[in-house]
């Protein structure tokens, strides 16, 4: 069930404040917006196996959506209600990309992956249940154009976090009036960290609703999965991204849940967990090595049962 449908013809190659909105909505109404994505670039990768011959937009995001009353210093709350998948996905190795480049070598590898009855057929005799999620979700920056490929940004982008799934709410820092939300890069299933750089990519639709949290100034996105609270950390070094993620989670406990600094420290040292985020890095890549990540993304998470009101 949806109130608005944005087709894949609204796909864009970046996030920017000067892109004409495809839709304007009022926040907090509960109205649902469906974003359609495509896999034209993956089809061309199978055909050409040469990035220089790809004419389709790589990792397009559909939108953007102008959200009334959203302004700098606010957070956009995007609740994911449903993700529908096409009948097949793609497993692709692009030479030089990802943690397995040393094992895969210089030859392209492209596999069509069947998706049927809620199951992803990875290989002969190897299947897994679908676990659909949104790889690329973000809002416009205050200046410039931000890529839908690399890196991840404080305003979102190609974060590739498995937590961006149905039932979760993604909170994005707003930098421009109207926020300009765009969504793309769906996955049928993805390993946490997506260290191979490409998961089981798939075309489909994502249905969300949008609200604005006034004055919730975030350093980077956060996700409420229903069971956990997840904060994103970005840094030039892995440890820098760990520190940013942990600090953000610490601030949630102290400023939003009335923990003392000492209590927050003790709780996080026991039940606050970190892990690698997506593979896109936190800084613009070297133009000579455009698929090699620079910097790191980390997520810090805590089960929400530890965030119950304090006595």
Query: Is residue 162 within 8 Å of residue 128, measured between CB atoms?
Result: no
Question: Is residue 77 within 8 Å of residue 216, measured between CB atoms?
Answer: no
Backbone Cα Rg of the chain: 19
pLDDT tens digits, one per residue of 208-228: 999 999 999 999 999 999 999
CA angle, residues 241, 253, 250, in degrees to nearest 5: 25
pLDDT tens-place string over residues 274-310 = 999 999 999 999 888 888 899 999 999 999 999 977 6
Q: Residue 144 carries which DSSP code?
A: S
pLDDT tens-digit series, residues 227-270: 999 999 999 999 999 999 999 999 999 999 999 999 999 999 99
Pairing verdict, β 179-189 and 228-235: unpaired
Query: Under CATH, to which class is 4-218 assigned?
Result: mainly beta
Domain boundaries, the chain: 4-218
- How many whole angstroms separate alpha carbon 154 and alpha carbon 176? 13
Alpha carbon dihedral 98, 100, 101, 107, in 10-degree steps, equals -110
pTM: 0.95
Asked whether the beta carbons of 27 and 211 are under 8 A apart, the reply is yes
pLDDT of residue 311: 54
Residue 127 to residue 241: CA distance in whole angstroms = 33
82 Cβ partners below 8 Å, 6+ apart? 166, 205, 206, 207
Spatial neighbors of 276 by CB under 8 A, at least 6 apart, are: 192, 193, 195, 238, 296, 297, 298, 299
- In our burial notation (b when 16+ CB lie closer than 10 A, e otherwise), range 75-110 reads bbbbbbbbbebeebbbbbbbeebbeebeebeeebeb
Q: Are 181 and 8 a contacting pair, CB within 8 Å?
A: no
Q: Which uninterrupted H or E stretch holds 263?
A: helix 261-271
Report the C-alpha gap between 33 and 134 in whole angstroms: 14
Look at 95-109, 122-136, 230-244 and tell me which has the smallest mean pLDDT. 95-109
The mean pLDDT of 119-140, rounded to a whole number, is 97
Q: Give pLDDT, residue 195.
A: 78
Retrieve residue 304's tokens. Answer: 């929400």
Assess whether the previous peptide bond of 64 is cis (omega < 30° from 0): yes
Coil, strand or helix at 230: strand
Is residue 130 within 8 A of residue 118, CB to CB? The reply is yes
For the stretch 153-165, pLDDT in tens is 999 999 999 999 9
For the chain, the average pLDDT equals 95
Q: Which residue has 């890549």 as its token pair? A: 285
pLDDT in tens, 177-202: 999 999 999 999 999 988 788 899 99
Residue 147 main-chain phi, psi, to 5 deg? -70, 150
DSSP H/E element including 43: helix 40-48
């Amino acid at each position: 069930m949806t109130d608005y449908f944005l087709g894949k013809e609204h796909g864009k190659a970046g996030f920017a404040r000067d892109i004409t909105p495809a839709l304007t909505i009022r926040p907090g109404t509960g109205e649902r917006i469906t974003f359609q994505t495509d896999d034209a670039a993956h089809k061309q990768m199978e055909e050409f196996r040469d990035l220089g011959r790809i004419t389709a937009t790589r990792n397009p995001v559909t939108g953007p959506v102008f959200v009334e009353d959203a302004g700098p210093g606010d957070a956009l709350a995007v609740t994911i209600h449903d993700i529908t998948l096409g009948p097949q996905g793609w497993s692709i190795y692009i030479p030089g990309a990802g943690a397995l480049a040393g094992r895969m070598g210089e030859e392209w590898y492209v596999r069509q992956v069947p998706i049927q009855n809620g199951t992803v057929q990875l290989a002969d005799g190897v299947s897994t249940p679908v676990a659909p999620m949104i790889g690329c979700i973000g809002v416009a920056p205050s200046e410039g154009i931000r890529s839908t490929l690399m890196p991840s940004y404080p305003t979102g982008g190609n974060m590739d976090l498995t937590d961006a799934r149905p039932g979760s709410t993604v909170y994005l820092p707003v930098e421009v009036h109207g926020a300009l939300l765009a969504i793309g890069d769906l996955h049928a299933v993805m390993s946490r960290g997506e260290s191979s750089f490409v998961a089981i990519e798939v075309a489909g639709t994502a249905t969300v609703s949008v609200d604005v949290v006034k004055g919730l100034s975030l350093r980077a996105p956060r996700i409420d999965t229903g069971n956990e609270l997840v904060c994103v950390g970005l840094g030039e070094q892995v440890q820098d991204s760990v520190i940013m993620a942990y600090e953000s989670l610490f601030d949630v406990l102290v400023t939003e849940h009335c923990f003392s600094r000492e209590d927050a420290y003790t709780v996080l040292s026991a039940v606050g967990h970190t892990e690698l985020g997506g593979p896109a890095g936190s800084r613009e890549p070297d133009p000579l090595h455009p698929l090699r990540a620079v910097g790191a993304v980390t997520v810090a998470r805590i089960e929400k049962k530890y965030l119950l009101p304090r006595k």
